[in-house]
Structure 1
């Protein structure tokens, strides 16, 4: 159980770090498959930032490659992303993080 808490803590720290950047980095696809854990359980990484977005000061979100798409994994997406087809946001990342922790 202690190791699970350590893994979750590391993933939370990664998300907090991304969200505290200027502009904030929105991961969009936080899920268990994007959490890498070394075989000795000492290195934990959040990966797959390929569809991440940068949140600008005026709260508009643009993809790093300029494409418009509905990225992410439906099982881990927030309701507003799925139902309203809204782009990723800090709150939707937190939803995905919660689903990942629950999983």
Structure 2
């Protein structure tokens, strides 16, 4: 709606996110149901489109998560839910990002594994990894792992060794 700036910060004011964030959305939708997937699809498409637009502008968000994707509208017939990305505090101008510091940008569950290599990395691909975690969490109502740092999550270490497809097949057996 408007942008304000002072000596230290720039503030972007958008409309009220009456639909909350995607984390709240996940809590309010039972898992798994066909209705959940149908409601997810337009939200995922909008999120991908928003991130693609950022990347076209040469911006890597670097902190994509359920909590940083807001929804406007209530999602009923006349008021469709629209996605709004927030929290650009970790954003980087340019595709190639400098080596991550000790903690790195973003939340541990969403961080691309290359952030832990202590060298320059592709911020657009790191955003894409985070989007995969977002979609997984939306679909299944839980995170696939708690961290991508080697040795911090047995699940991620197992996926790194065996691949995501065997992991998903094992989960399918466990959920049946």
> Given the two structures, how large is their TM-score scaled by the length of structure 1?
0.78
Q: In the alignment, is residue 18 of structure 1 matched against residue 54 of structure 2?
A: yes
Secondary structure in 2 matching 1:93: helix
CA contact (8 A) 2:46 2:82 kept: no
Shift of 1:39: 4.7
Q: How many residues align?
A: 92
1:41-86 deviation per Cα after TM superposition (whole angstroms, max 9, x unaligned): 3221111111100016xx4x47xxxxx85221111010011x2134
SS in 2 for 1:74: coil
Counterpart Cα distance in 2 of 1:5 and 1:38: 16
* Cα shift readout 1:1-43 (whole Å, capped 9, x = no counterpart): 322100111100000000011xx10000111111101351322
Partners of 1:51 and 1:88 in 2: how far apart? 14
* Alignment RMSD: 2.0
2:63 aligned to which of 18, 29, 46: 29
8 Å CA contact 1:26, 1:93 repeated in 2: yes
Q: 1:91 and 1:43 mapped to 2: Cα distance? A: 24
- Give the match's secondary structure for 1:75: coil
Q: Does the alignment pair 1:40 with 2:79?
A: no
Higher Cα Rg, which structure: 2
Please give the residue correspondences for 1:1-103 in structure 2 after superposition, counting only pairs within 5 Å.
Answer: 1-21=37-57, 24-41=58-75, 42-55=81-94, 59=96, 61=97, 69=101, 70-81=104-115, 83-86=116-119, 89-103=123-137
Q: Distance in 1 between matches of 2:126 and 2:82?
A: 26
- Aligned mates of 2:61, 2:135 — CA distance in 1: 15
